[in-house]
Amino acid sequence: GEDVEQSLFLSVREGDSSVINCTYTDSSSTYLYWYKQEPGAGLQLLTYIFSNMDMKQDQRLTVLLNKKDKHLSLRIADTQTGDSAIYFCAEGPSGQNFVFGPGTRLSVLP
């Protein structure tokens, strides 16, 4: 079945770049997504990439997609303390549904 995997924790220093990685299994997914979840809040759509693209840049965010290896990454440049949150990778829609990874908890150290 469909599966999305992520490393669970990442710690970086303020001002450094963060790279969050994700692998997925469903090659028929149309889009790959990155969501951010802060404590006590719902998921906020950060960015997404169409499956036939290799890269997408949006201000401090860069998404890289390696479709052959089914690998997705999110790079956050100049990471700030406000970027501390849980980041979810998701694939979809497959049919009409989305499959989420377990989330990567990003801690930004001053």
Question: Residue numbers of the site for another protein (CB under 8 A)?
Answer: 4, 30-31, 33, 35, 40-45, 48, 88, 90, 92-93, 95-98, 100-103
Give the type of residue at 21.
N
Q: Which is nearer to another protein, 59 or 97 (CB)?
A: 97
For residue 70, what are the CA distances in angstroms to 5, 22, 30, 48?
A: 11, 8, 13, 15
Q: Which is nearer to another protein, 62 or 98 (CB)?
A: 98
How far apart are CB 40 and another protein at their closest, in Å? 8
DSSP one-letter string for 55-98: EEEETTEEEEEETTTTEEEEEESS--GGG-EEEEEEEEEETTEE
Q: Which is nearer to another protein, 76 or 89 (CB)?
A: 89
How far apart are CB 68 and another protein at their closest, in Å? 22
How far apart are CB 39 and another protein at their closest, in Å? 11
* Secondary structure letter of residue 40 according to DSSP: T
- Token digits for 35? 């969501």
